[in-house]
Amino acid sequence: MSSIVIIGAQWGDEGKGKIVDYLAEGADQVVRFQGGNNAGHTLVVGGQKTVLHLVPSGALHPGVRCLIGNGVVVDPEVLLQEIEALRARGFLKDDSDLLVSDRAHVIFPYHKKMDQLREERRGKGKIGTTGRGIGPAYEDKAARMGIRIGELVESDLLKKRLEEVVPEKNLQFEKILNGSPFSVKELFQRYSEIGSCLKKYVGDVSRALYEARCHGKKILYEGAQGTALDVDHGTYPYVTSSNTVAGAVCAGSGVGPSAIDRVIGVTKAYTTRVGSGPFPTEETGEIGRRLQEGGGEFGATTGRPRRCGWLDLPLLKQSIRLSGINGLVITKLDILSALPTLNLCVAYRFRGGRYAEVPSALAPLEECQPEYETLPGWKENISDVRRLDQLPNAARKYLERIEKETGVPIDLVSVGPGREDNIIIRHPFS
Ligand code: GDP
Ligand code: IMO
Ligand code: MG
């Protein structure tokens, strides 16, 4: 197995960063292929916490190359800060440790402003975005009004493109959004400087990946967000603005489907969601509070409290189908310790009907009642467990039930935030 995709199988924050960091030990390259700095991926190594928003989660392994594919939208200021912080700690030492696609699109301040103003205008119906300008940057890409990294790093090109794009943006701000205009001159000054700092990292990611694969290199593709936030298949419009399914690896990094050997879906042992939108198994009472406090469920990007609830198997099965997931990673099993009983959602009930699949329309998902199967809990702290047979019987039964219902084997169970806090059942690279 040389090329593995790691994606979130819920609404994001499943623990992808931790898993990618652990698996990166055996990898040569780690690639981000969609999203931007709406992502917040937490790595805990030797007790030290690192949160990465744009740089792939292989960065803490010297010798592992990090690549940012064309499908990512890059806030160059955030990228530069992240690189500098990592370099100050002795990581990303060589310029060749990071490669950013010249085709990736740039997030400018007007994208962030637009994101924020739109949310304000939506009022109660707001999406609850991260406010990082992700949606407006993808809009510009599709509208052929985007500015790419390859243009950011060539000052004459940057100037020309800003002159073409910014006047139209300003019209939108002045006439529709009630915002103040942006100055081409100021944007150019600030961004040409950032561009010149980033230039040494910019190149052709698709080509680099092709060559790496020809040389038998091991590659990890690191998803951001989760399948239920996919712009096509998620809970639209309460979604992010990119495709988060495994298929996005191909368009977002410039490789063909035959270049992918395995797809691993990461899911928490329960469910969380940040931002607005339907969440059938949400628990707003005592259980929700216990999961939130016990799991430290506060966003790694915005610090917002995450909504919490039981594991939703129809949602997980949908992710498995959409991304061709053939191995599962279950994270945060340790957080379920000491709950007397555990609920697993096996179907939705809506207006007298029973649905084992996620409906594509929003209303049934908003109004449905989850149908639960109740399993016994366990009392023991399992954070130090490293073998499946050392888990309490009830924890093993819980995992077995997930495997049976989904038909997909569990490769790894995570029982703590640290890099090594894992029960390995089948190593994905084996
Ligand atoms: P990502 O966006 O999918 O990378 O996930 P986040 O980093 O946003 O959120 C996952 C949170 O759970 C982080 O704080 C991790 O350190 C933490 N975490 C990951 N796996 C485990 C686990 O198995 N147990 C516990 N207790 N924490 C975990
Ligand atoms: P990681 O990679 C959880 C959510 C936002 C909002 C919706 C749209 O850390 O799992 P956006 O800013 O993308 O336009 O917001 O998507 N969202 C995430 N939720 N984890 C993430 O990333 C997210 N990235 C975006 O909260 O509901
Ligand atoms: Mg996160």
Dihedral (Cα; 298, 302, 307, 308), 10-degree rounding: -40
pLDDT tens digit string along 81-91? 999 999 999 99
**Atom nearest to 224 CA in ligand 1:** 2
Mean pLDDT value across the chain: 97
Question: What does the pLDDT average to over 50-79?
Answer: 98
pLDDT band at 408 (very low <50, low <70, confident <90, very high): very high
Q: Is 12 in the pocket of ligand 2 (CB under 6 A)?
A: yes
- Ligand 3 centroid, distance to 106 Cα (angstroms): 21
- Ligand 3 centroid, distance to 417 Cα (angstroms): 13
For 367-427, the DSSP string reads: H-EEEEEEEE---S--TT--SGGGS-HHHHHHHHHHHHHH---EEEEE-SSBTT-EEESS-
> 378's torsion region: left (phi>0), alpha (psi -120 to 50) or beta?
beta
430: pLDDT strictly greater than 90: no
**Atom nearest to 266 CA in ligand 1:** 3
Read off the pTM. Answer: 0.98
Element spanning 246, H or E = none
Q: What is the pLDDT of residue 177?
A: 85
**Atom nearest to 277 CA in ligand 2:** 27
Residue nearest to atom 13 of ligand 2 (CA): 240
Residue nearest to atom 14 of ligand 1 (CA): 42
Element spanning 252, H or E = helix 248-253
pLDDT tens digit string along 302-329? 888 999 999 999 999 999 999 999 999 9
1: pLDDT strictly greater than 80: no
- Ligand 2 centroid, distance to 240 Cα (angstroms): 6
Active-site residue flag, 421: no
Q: Is 134 in the pocket of ligand 2 (CB under 6 A)?
A: yes
Catalytic residue chosen out of the listed positions 21, 28, 41, 97 = 41
Q: Which of 248, 231, 245 is nearest to 72 (CA)?
A: 248
pLDDT tens digit string along 369-394? 999 999 999 999 999 999 999 999 99
- Ligand 2 centroid, distance to 211 Cα (angstroms): 32
The tokens for 42 are 């937490």
Active-site residue flag, 41: yes
* CA angle at 300 for the pair 296 and 303, rounded to the nearest 5°: 75
Question: What does the pLDDT average to over 35-45?
Answer: 98
Element spanning 27, H or E = none
Q: Is 151 in the pocket of ligand 2 (CB under 6 A)?
A: no
Q: What is the pLDDT of residue 345?
A: 98
For 66-112, the DSSP string reads: EEE-TTSEE-HHHHHHHHHHHHHTT-S-SGGGEEEETTSEEP-HHHH
**Which residue shows structure tokens 């990512």?**
72
What is the amino acid identity at position 303? G
pLDDT tens digit string along 353-371? 999 999 988 999 999 999 9
Distance between CA atoms of 353 and 366, rounded to whole angstroms? 15
Residue nearest to atom 21 of ligand 2 (CA): 225
Q: What is the CA radius of gyration of the chain?
A: 22
Residue 8 · residue 200 · CB < 8 Å: no
> 105's torsion region: left (phi>0), alpha (psi -120 to 50) or beta?
beta
pLDDT tens digit string along 121-157? 999 999 999 999 999 999 999 999 999 999 999 999 9
235: pLDDT strictly greater than 70: yes
Given CA atoms 273, 278, 280, 282 in this order, what sign does their dihedral have? Answer: positive
Q: What is the DSSP letter of 153?
A: T
Q: Is 135 in the pocket of ligand 2 (CB under 6 A)?
A: yes
Ligand 1: residue of 16, 18, 306 to mutate (most ligand atoms within 8 A of CB) is 18
Residue nearest to atom 11 of ligand 2 (CA): 129
**Atom nearest to 333 CA in ligand 1:** 23
Distance between CA atoms of 414 and 313, rounded to whole angstroms? 19
| Buried residues in 171-192 as b, exposed as e (16+ CB within 10 A) | eebeeebebeebebeebbeebb
